[in-house]
A and B are shown apart, each in its own frame.
Chain A
Amino acid sequence: DTGVSQDPRHKITKRGQNVTFRCDPISEHNRLYWYRQTLGQGPEFLTYFQNEAQLEKSRLLSDRFSAERPKGSFSTLEIQRTEQGDSAMYLCASSDTNYGYTFGSGTRLTVV
């Protein structure tokens, strides 16, 4: 297993378009997290899955954002009607302990 994979690495989209990101966690990990990071800031929590159940969502996750984790494996994060303020690095992490969070390399979204 090569760690947490995220695809694509970089996405440029026009304002108003929809985008979808994919995360493949470490296979043994039942917990999966999405974070957003803007330049010069620490990652901010977006949402959390335990297996296929979405257990927690941040207030940052507006109704334009939706995340799924079908069958408790990979996860997708979709942003509808993108805005320039959505430009950020979207990070996925997985874990099977209270401290061992492994992050992917992220998807960098640029909304023009």
Chain B
Amino acid sequence: QKEVEQDPGPLSVPEGAIVSLNCTYSNSAFQYFMWYRQYSRKGPELLMYTYSSGNKEDGRFTAQVDKSSKYISLFIRDSQPSDSATYLCAMNNAGNMLTFGGGTRLMVKP
């Protein structure tokens, strides 16, 4: 079993929908939780990070971490076709290497 699990999708939604992306993990030592967006043939781009448990909001994006359940989520409100990409969750323990999920491919249809 992988340390970080993520549903590969693809997830197809209509424009304007609320998108929910999720990851589960097994290593309780993880402290920093990140979401990256990756367009085809590009490197991952950091969207948001959260330290420990709680919620964080940035524009249309909300990240949630539930350490008791070892479960993290990313919500995208008012989704746009430009949000179509692969979304990767990643986590680490205080500056060590990031451990990534396998990524969820999202398609937002106009």
Contacts and interface: CB of A to CB of B under 8 A. Distances in A.
Interface of A: 4, 31, 33, 35, 40-45, 48, 56, 58, 91, 93, 95, 97-106, 108
Contacts of A97: 95
A43 B98 CA distance: 9
Contacts of B8: 40
Contacts of A35: 98
A42 B97 contact: no
B32 interface: yes
Contacts, number: 67
Contact of B95 (A31, A42, A58, A108): A31
Contact of A48 (B45, B97, B103): B97
Interface string B1-42: 000101010000000000000000000000110101000011
Interface of B: 4, 6, 8, 31-32, 34, 36, 41-46, 49, 51, 88, 90, 92, 94-103
Given A40-B102, A56-B96, A105-B43, A98 B32 contact: yes
Contacts of A44: 100
Contacts of A104: 43
A104 B99 CA distance: 17
Nearest to B92: A98
Contacts of B6: 42
Nearest to B88: A42
